[in-house]
Amino acid sequence: MDRAILVEKLRQGEKLKGIGGEAYIAYLVGKAPNVGIEYFVDGLIDERRRGELRAFTTQLISQIDDNNQNIVHTMDLAEERLFALSVHTLPGRFIPLEVSLSDTFEYLERLYNKPEKALGITTGLPSLDGLFLGFQSGSLTLIAGPSGIGKTALAVTIAKHAALECGQATAIFSLDLSRDLLTTRLLAIEAKVDLFRLSTGRITDEEWQRLTSVSSKLSEAPIYIDDTRDISELEMHLRAYRLKREYGLALIIVDYLQLVKVGDDAGNGERESMLEVVRSLKKMARTLGTPVLGLVQWSNDTGRRPQAADLSASGYGAIEQEADVIMFLDLVESCSEVEATTGEVEKAVELTISKQRNGPTGSIRI
């Protein structure tokens, strides 16, 4: 709304003076950030609720201190008033089963006619896609594993497949690696060049030609990298919203969750911080209607194949509850020709899907 029109509307309603006059309106306009208004509506509603609750508690304290008031009557009025406030301010509403059935049946009918539509964005790894339902709209998928096992490499491979093969715009919040390092990994994976030799300049002419070729190909991929350190979940939400509005964002990757900045409370423990981050990412996925893939630093100390419940045992219970899909990367012994001839035990990376809503669980070697 135009500032002058807003001032005039408030003046006509005799509310301008009560909120601080034109000076306060000018202050608010100056403070308003240039982002989508949708993400500030909740904040305004929350502030209104706080104001109503503040007025209610002030009145309640006055009645409590009034010795002429019957305390039982005051308690009854307080309960009634608090309930009334809750009814009008709590989000959400009941939906009749008839409406839900109609919407759900329409969705199932589309799947029946085109079964391939049941899958979300695939990973590009046939063995994994045979178990995985794909990155579904509004879902939160987590990949947990120790440092150095290949979480980022897997995420980059998925991003490359989503952007190049599926033509889907993909955002990567790279809190661990700089944009240059992440791009180097992407080039190495696509050109099939050893990352260490590429990083030290020790590649062959033939490998350089492959790099040049894939660089041209990758330049057309709709992949967007944000390597801001100490970014908060709210900042990620806003940036993802802007990107989706401009390019139709289809997948969001966060590498990795423990590095996401949490509020202003320095007293938050790791468990509380993880709880807030996971819930925020789930909210972002639901609000934007875009799947989110989050990477988690986690070491398997159980001596067996990891399970979703192991996250709870590590203090990350929120992950098990909130995530739609949980995958683990773990090192396992691999029987091979090398072991048979040398007696040395090789290690292989195993990916385990330990939780998947509406889908199977299982393990594959990658």
pLDDT, residue 334, reads: 58
Cα separation of 44 and 170, whole Å?
A: 31
Residues 6+ apart with CB under 8 A from 133: 118, 119, 120, 325, 356, 358, 359
Domain positions in the chain: 3-89, 120-365
As beta bridge partners, residue 141 has 293, 325
Q: Are 139 and 284 in contact (CB under 8 A)?
A: no
pLDDT, residue 172, reads: 92
Handedness of CA 355, 359, 362, 366 (dihedral sign): negative
At residue 338, does pLDDT exceed 50?
no
At residue 319, does pLDDT exceed 80?
no
Q: Is 232 helix (H, G, I), strand (E, B) or coil?
A: strand
Q: Which residue did the predictor score with more confidence, 42 or 110? A: 110
Structure tokens at 76: 């009854």
Mean pLDDT of 80-100: 70
pLDDT, residue 214, reads: 84
Cα separation of 143 and 293, whole Å?
A: 8
pLDDT, residue 72, reads: 80
Q: Which residue did the predictor score with more confidence, 17 or 149? A: 149
pLDDT, residue 293, reads: 94
Cα 306–chain centre separation: 23
Cα separation of 294 and 124, whole Å?
A: 18
pLDDT, residue 173, reads: 93
Phi, psi of 141 (to 5 degrees): -110, 135
pLDDT, residue 275, reads: 77
Task: Please provide the average confidence, as pLDDT, over all residues in the chain.
Answer: 79
Mean pLDDT of 257-276: 71
pLDDT, residue 124, reads: 86
Tell me the longest C-alpha to C-alpha distance in the chain.
Answer: 94
Cα separation of 226 and 260, whole Å?
A: 13
pLDDT, residue 337, reads: 47
- CATH annotation of 120-365: 3.40.50.300
Lowest mean per-residue pLDDT among 111-125, 139-153, 349-363: 111-125
Over residues 286-316, the pLDDT tens digits come to 888 899 999 988 877 666 676 666 666 665 6
Share of the chain above pLDDT 90, in %: 7
What stretches of 13-70 show up as alpha helix (H) in DSSP?
21-31, 38-65
pLDDT, residue 355, reads: 87
As beta bridge partners, residue 255 has 174
Q: Return the HEC string of 122-175.
A: CCCCHHHHCCCCCECCCCEEEEEECCCCCHHHHHHHHHHHHHHHCCCCEEEEEC
pLDDT, residue 171, reads: 93
Q: Is 348 helix (H, G, I), strand (E, B) or coil?
A: strand
Q: Is 48 helix (H, G, I), strand (E, B) or coil?
A: helix
Q: Are 85 and 57 in contact (CB under 8 A)?
A: no
At residue 47, does pLDDT exceed 50?
yes
At residue 28, does pLDDT exceed 80?
no
Mean pLDDT: which of 68-82, 224-238, 266-280, 345-359 is highest? 224-238
At residue 29, does pLDDT exceed 90?
no
- Check: pTM over 0.95? Answer yes or no: no
Q: Which is it for strands 346-356 and 325-334: parallel, antiparallel or unpaired?
A: antiparallel
Q: Are 296 and 257 in contact (CB under 8 A)?
A: yes
Over residues 141-163, the pLDDT tens digits come to 999 888 888 889 899 999 999 99
Lowest mean per-residue pLDDT among 9-13, 39-43, 157-161, 263-267: 263-267
Mean pLDDT: which of 23-27, 45-49, 93-97, 179-183 is highest? 179-183
Over residues 120-145, the pLDDT tens digits come to 888 888 888 888 888 888 899 999 88
Burial label for 170, CB within 10 Å (0-12, 13-18, 19+), is: buried
Mean pLDDT of 65-86: 78
Structure tokens at 170: 């993909």
- Of 327, 295, 289, 333, the C-alpha closest to 310 is 327
